[in-house]
Amino acid sequence: MTGPDRGYRPGMPLTRALDGATVVITGASSGIGAATAYALARRGADVVLAARTEEALHRVAGRCRELGGRAVAVPTDVTDPEAVRRLAARAAAEFGRIDAWINNAAVTAVGLFDEIPVEEFRRVVAVNLLGTVYGTKAALPWLDAAGGGVLVNNASVLAEVAMPYQSAYNATKHGIRGLADTVRQELRVTGRGNISICTVLPTSIDTPFFRHAANHSGRELTPPPPVYPPEVVAETIVRLLRRPRREAYAGGAARLLGLQWRLAPALVERVLGWYTTRTQFGPGVALDSTGNVFRPDAEAARSGGWHGRRRQLIRMTAAFGLAAAGTAVGTLAAMTRRARAEQ
């Protein structure tokens, strides 16, 4: 087996069915967080929704109720550890327990590393990485008290690979993956294997994320194709709650990128840099902006309006995949020849 699931036995699932489970979701006011909330509500789960934009959060909660689930909106800034502890306590007070926790809140600042202001870089780290730290710390005691549960971190395929102009985001997502691996080890060696730590690795997703990003590139931002709907990630998270795994890709392109990166990292780093430099910017000019890094602006929208890019540049995408796949085959052939020569 290849990929993130290699050599890993599935962890413990939820101790109760989804239609009776309580799930906390951060970053729930739009995009992947909202799509996940809706997917769980359709299955009858109780969802506790956290984000900075209160109005959008209540709109998502209302839609969850329409879909058949119970929902509570708890405005929360995940960079405040005390606020995250209060979020966990509120969830337990409302529904009696916490069965699963999804760390999903994220922001980004796009631009060359030496042009991203230090205060923005620090804030991206605070939201993405420290927000996941605080969420994990708040969740573990409640998951343990419930007899076990599942914690899912949304880390992005950029936890495994990297792309230019995303230094802060890349760094935090790599950090989230390392954090999850360490906490998983510690739970296992301390006899708390009833708590599963899972990492989801999505590729480009059609959400408002790129529209809300801080932008210091001078150019319009667009997600590199192929772009997948947020429901792809939401359904991956639902599967992880039912059958936990160490890691899971969301979107076929993510799996392909991960495989290529492991087989030929130096070459794929160069090819991916070339590809994303040409596809994460549109033709328009953009003024310098801090986006939503400091100021919440969610509108309860799942989609970012990028669905047209699911087919756009398909030839370039296919060419990239074929080139990297060919390189991977060449790499394996070279390794085989070397091994035979050394016998």
Span 312-331, pLDDT tens digits: 444 344 444 544 445 544 44
Helices (H), 96-245: 118-124, 131-145, 167-189, 209-212, 230-242
Q: 134, 165, 169, 249: which is the annotated catalytic residue?
A: 169
pLDDT for res 11: 65
Is 169 part of the annotated catalytic residue set?
Answer: yes
For residues 212 and 296, give the distance between their C-alpha atoms in angstroms, rounded to a whole number.
Answer: 9
Find out whether 138 and 85 touch, Cβ atoms under 8 Å.
Answer: yes
For residues 44 and 207, give the distance between their C-alpha atoms in angstroms, rounded to a whole number.
Answer: 24
Using the predicted structure, report yes or no on whether residue 339 has a pLDDT greater than 50: no
- Band (333; pLDDT cuts 50, 70, 90): very low
- Where are the domains positioned within the chain? 18-342
For residues 159 and 145, give the distance between their C-alpha atoms in angstroms, rounded to a whole number.
Answer: 30
The CATH class, in words, for 18-342 is alpha beta
What's the rounded mean pLDDT across residues 248-268?
95
Whole-Å CA distances, 229 to 104, 246, 280, 285: 16, 23, 17, 26
Report CA Rg, the chain: 20
Kindly report, residue by residue over 115-163, the tens digit of the pLDDT: 999 999 999 999 999 999 999 999 999 999 999 999 999 999 999 999 9
Q: Based on the number of CB atoms within 10 Å of its own CB, is 131 exposed (0-12), middle (13-18) or buried (19 or more)?
A: buried
Q: Which two three-digit tokens encode residue 333?
A: 């052939």
Considering only residues 31 and 335, tell me which one the structure prediction assigns the higher pLDDT. 31
